Amino acid sequence: MVLTQSLFAQKVFRIKSDNLETKVPILVQKPENYKSTKSYPLVFMLHGYSENYEQWNKTTDLKKLATDYQMILVCPEGFVNYYLNSPNLENFYYEDFFFQELIPKIEKKYSIEKKNIFITGLSMGGYGALSLFIKHSKFFNTAASTSGALEFDYENFKEISLKFFESERMTKDLEMTLGNPGLATKNWTNS
């Protein structure tokens, strides 16, 4: 883990990931009065499709939230792959990164209440939060999704994303992650 920026009790790290074959930025916000002798609840906050790991910092006072509720907030970069292990992209295994690389680094660096680990997300991040929670429910206490993309009916998804974004970018990114829906039905059904 390499420290790249520090503001008050907030830090941005870049984790060199073998599962993603890139350096992944992670924003961590501790309470102002953080003490390593005390254990804190941990909340993972997953960003939406058109955002990045800094999204929550732009829309929420993370410092106040972490301090008022005495918790550690972790905002990882999620790229545009819905926080999944991609069956279509070689060497892009986000779920494996999350559990094999990110969590061990956070647990090693911070004093965490292991029974109070939460996950939440917005839009694409809401999908990721629920997907990771369902697959690893024993790890998390609770999950929450805000406007989460919960079902991928390809034709409906394509029509809505074309209307909303006036481009095929979102559809193409999802196809890149899961494969062609006509040929990779299993990937779409299992995600």
Residues 104 and 182 in one domain: no
Residue 180 pLDDT greater than 60, yes or no: no
Q: Which residues contact 83 (CB under 8 A, 6 or more apart)?
A: 46, 94, 95, 98, 121, 124, 125, 127, 128, 129, 131, 132
Strand 10-17 with 72-76, pairing: unpaired
Residues 62 and 96 in one domain: yes
Which comes out higher in pLDDT, residue 169 or 23? 23
Residues 145 and 59 in one domain: yes
pLDDT at 5: 43
SS3 72: strand
Where residue 51 sits, what CATH number does that domain have?
3.40.50.1820
Taking the C-alpha atoms of residue 31 and residue 41, their distance in angstroms, rounded to an integer, is 11
Convert the pLDDT of each residue in 32-91 to its tens digit: 999 999 999 999 999 988 898 998 888 899 999 999 999 999 999 999 888 888 877 788
Residues 165 and 107 in one domain: no
Residues 179 and 115 in one domain: no
User: Total domain count for the chain?
Assistant: 2
Residues 137 and 158 in one domain: no
Q: Tell me the percentage of the chain whose pLDDT exceeds 70.
A: 73
Taking the C-alpha atoms of residue 44 and residue 119, their distance in angstroms, rounded to an integer, is 5
Convert the pLDDT of each residue in 99-128 to its tens digit: 999 999 999 999 999 999 999 999 889 889
pLDDT at 179: 57
Residues 142 and 158 in one domain: no
Residue 170 pLDDT greater than 60, yes or no: no
* Inter-CA distances, 158 with 17, 51, 105, 112, Å: 31, 20, 37, 41
pLDDT at 6: 45
pLDDT average, residue stretch 9-23: 92
Residues 118 and 179 in one domain: no
Residues 109 and 25 in one domain: yes
Taking the C-alpha atoms of residue 51 and residue 23, their distance in angstroms, rounded to an integer, is 17
Residues 26 and 108 in one domain: yes
Range of the domain at 111: 2-150
Residues 159 and 145 in one domain: no
Q: Tell me the percentage of the chain whose pLDDT exceeds 90.
A: 49
How confident is the prediction for the chain on average, in pLDDT?
81
Residues 160 and 135 in one domain: no
Q: Residue 107 in contact with residue 99, Cβ under 8 Å?
A: no
